[in-house]
Amino acid sequence: MSSTMSLSLPRGFSCHVANVGVKNTSTDFVVVAADHTCAAAAVFTQSRFSGPSVVVSRANIAQHRARGVVVISKNANVATGEQGLANAHEIVAGVASALGCPAHEVQIASTGVIGRQYPMDRIRSGLSALSELSLPFASNDAHAVATGIMTTDTVEKVASATIAGSTAVVVGVAKGVGMIEPNMATLITLMFTDADIDPASLDTIFRRVIDGTFNCVSVDTDTSTSDTAIVLASGVAGSVDIVAFEAALFHVALSLTKQVARDGEGAETLIEVVVDGARDNAQAKRVAKAIVNSPLVKTAVHGADPNWGRVAMAVGKCGDETDIIEDNVVIRFGSQECFPNQVDAAGLAQLSAYLGGDEVLIHVSLGIADGTATVWGCDLTDGYVRINADYTT
């Protein structure tokens, strides 16, 4: 269960990846099509500024059936009014025409700069070229799909897993390294499987997997206007054990989640925060997010400073969690306890060396009950500031 340098989409899927000139010369127009209409599920951002791609896809996924998905990168098409919505519908209709399916069987996702209209003359040229291709498309390269949906990502993000007891696979791609604090799904992630899964089960499992993976990642506390997570199941490989399918889907989603956190804008260190001993899992997740989202914790990790007081601060600012009692809390960096039993100068030096690695674990036990959660994030560097200061130019 891992990513690989050569990865094909599952059986029953093909892709078309091109540059249509949305912003620059990198690929920015991606269509993944199933050979036939198949089971599908999706979850989306809860932002009050949801973009037209989210509005259209949210309506189209209601029947949990889809033939394909189109992604426009480098332009979010958000806060673009009625014209932006009309453009999203036009793109979906154009892709549907090329695939020979109803418009409601096409999902659309878009990511990039907010507040700018699509360059529709260029996108129409891309749709015209798409309509001249025969199905299935000539390519099934998952890496090309992952590259085509990137914006400020430094590397493409792919992962795969074989479903135990079968020949069926799950393949996933994702993009997103900034404006990452999902509250639904995340950024953009597309997952595909050739397993035969009924739509209702696919939707239930997908939501459960997303909640334990992508909903547990944060780079900068900012929820995107365009977060979209989609899964399609072609069914070509036949039926599979449903538990084994969920395990494979979870492994792919978890791999992509960690890849997103590791590639956070300007990031140098992957931070994993484990909170246990909480009242329930929901409380554990709230506290863990408070820690991983703290700029002071992030900068301490970046500076390899074992300042456990910043972790204590992050726990303490969860003011509504009145059952958190200081005397019951244990704070650790890695396996080393820092509070209440503090380390000496030599121990602090060892912790500093640990924090200088490319992965850091922060483990907090609340001493209340048995709730637990794990979340992922990254350090905060001057590179993050520079990337976002210069983003639109």
Question: What is the model's pLDDT at position 185?
Answer: 47
Q: What is the mean pLDDT of residues 241-262?
A: 94
Annotation marks residue 381 as catalytic: no
Residues 354 and 351: their CA atoms lie apart, in Å, by: 5
Higher pLDDT, 364 or 390: 364
The model's pLDDT over 132-164, given as tens digits with 9 standing for 90+, comes to 999 999 999 999 999 999 987 888 999 999 999
Average pLDDT over residues 346-370: 95
54 vs 379: which has the higher pLDDT: 54
* Nearest Cα to Cα of residue 1 among 257, 255, 259, 260: 255
Phi, psi dihedral angles at 279 (to 5 degrees): -60, -40
- Asked if residue 249 has pLDDT above 90, the reply is yes
C-alpha 160/C-alpha 148 separation (Å) is: 18
Percent of the chain with pLDDT over 90: 77
Residue 385 has pLDDT above 90, yes or no: no
Instruction: Answer whether the bond into residue 340 is a cis peptide, omega within 30°.
Output: yes
Q: Please, is 393 exposed, middle or buried when counting C-beta atoms within 10 Å of its C-beta (0-12, 13-18, 19+)?
A: exposed
Integer angstrom CA distances of residue 332 from 286, 287, 336, 345, 356 = 18, 15, 5, 16, 16
Backbone phi, psi, residue 193, to 5°: -145, 150
**pLDDT exceeds cutoff 70 at 353:** yes
What's the confidence (pLDDT) of residue 5? 62
Lowest mean pLDDT among 180-194, 281-295, 352-366: 180-194
Q: Sign of the C-alpha dihedral, residues 344, 347, 353, 355?
A: negative
Of the listed 27, 152, 186, 225, which one is catalytic? Answer: 186
Is the pLDDT score of 348 beyond 60? yes
Q: What local confidence, expressed as pLDDT, does residue 88 receive?
A: 98
Q: Which residues pair with 204 in a beta bridge?
A: none
Q: Rounded to the nearest 10 degrees, how much is the dihedral formed by the CA atoms of 182, 263, 27, 91?
A: 0
pLDDT for residue 113: 83
What value does the mean pLDDT take over residues 349-368? 95
Task: Tell whether the model's pLDDT for residue 264 goes beyond 80.
Answer: no
CA atoms within 13 A on the CB side of 319: 1
Crossing angle for the helix pair 81-99 and 120-131, nearest 10 degrees? 10
Give me the DSSP letters along 303-345. Answer: TT---HHHHHHHHHT-TT-TT--GGG-EEEETTEEEESS---H
* Secondary structure class of 93 (helix, strand, coil): helix
CA separation for the pair 13, 68 (Å, rounded) = 9
| pLDDT above 60: residue 3 | no
Smallest CA-to-CA distance from 224 within 268, 193, 180, 254 is with: 180
Overall average pLDDT of the 79-102 stretch: 97
- Residue 134, Cβ density class (10 Å: 0-12 exposed, 13-18 middle, ≥19 buried): exposed
Mean predicted lDDT score pLDDT of the chain: 91
pLDDT of residue 252: 98
The owner of tokens 């001057």 is 382
Q: Which range is least confidently modeled, 50-64, 129-143, 281-295, 371-385?
A: 371-385
Q: What is the pLDDT of residue 45?
A: 86
pLDDT of res. 23: 86
Q: Which pLDDT does position 381 carry in this prediction?
A: 74
Nearest Cα neighbor of 275 from 350, 369, 181 is: 369
Q: Are strands 330-333 and 359-365 parallel, antiparallel or unpaired?
A: antiparallel
| Band (220; pLDDT cuts 50, 70, 90) | low
Report pTM.
0.85
E strand or H helix that includes residue 385: helix 382-389
53: helix, strand or coil: helix
Of the candidate ranges 54-58, 184-188, 345-349, 354-358, the one whose mean pLDDT is the lowest: 184-188
Q: Rounded mean pLDDT of 168-181?
A: 81
Whose CA is closest to 111, among 173, 160, 59?
173
Asked if pLDDT for residue 285 goes beyond 90, the answer is yes
For 216-232, what is the mean pLDDT? 79
